[in-house]
Each structure stands twice: as structure tokens, then as C-alpha cells.
Amino acid sequence: MRLTLALALAITAACSGGKPPKSAAADTLTERQRDSMLAGSRIPGARGVGAAMRAADSTNARIRAADTVAP
């Protein structure tokens, strides 16, 4: 019985491709868009996502400004 069950599970796993199914929303939205939607929601901790995004944007702007050479 155990051998049959193990064999059935092995065949099922081999046929599944091993990849989890992707939803349509995951394919069409970027990580930035998903984070922006989350930051605007009422979920606990969502404000922290927005604050982290603003901090990252600020840091990226400072890095770009430092890399720019003035004529």
C-alpha cells in the first residue's frame, strides 16, 4: 500500500512541472505597483511600506545626483 501511494505521489509530482501557478494579477503588475497598492490600503503595517518606498526613492535620487557631473 505504501509503495503504491509513494509511486502515485512521485508520478503526480513529475507531471505537475514543479512550478506554482501564477495569477493574472501577478503577471501584469510590477512589484512597485503592488507595493503602491499595498501602501494605500488599510492593512496594518501598510503605512510602513509607503514610508520605505519614499526612503528608497529619496536615497536613489541622492545617488543619481551624486553621480551627475556638472559642466
Q: Between residues 8 and 64, which one has the greater pLDDT?
A: 64
The reply to whether 65 falls in a domain is: yes
- What single-letter DSSP state applies at residue 46? H
- What single-letter DSSP state applies at residue 68? P
The reply to whether 7 falls in a domain is: no
Q: Are 39 and 53 in contact (CB under 8 A)?
A: yes
The reply to whether 11 falls in a domain is: no
End-to-end CA distance of the chain: 79
Average of per-residue pLDDT across 22-43 = 81
List the domain range (segments joined by +) for residue 34: 29-71
Report the percentage of the chain scoring pLDDT > 90: 48
The three cell numbers of residue 60 are: 536613489
The reply to whether 55 falls in a domain is: yes
Total tally of structural domains belonging to the chain: 1
pLDDT for 22: 59
The reply to whether 23 falls in a domain is: no
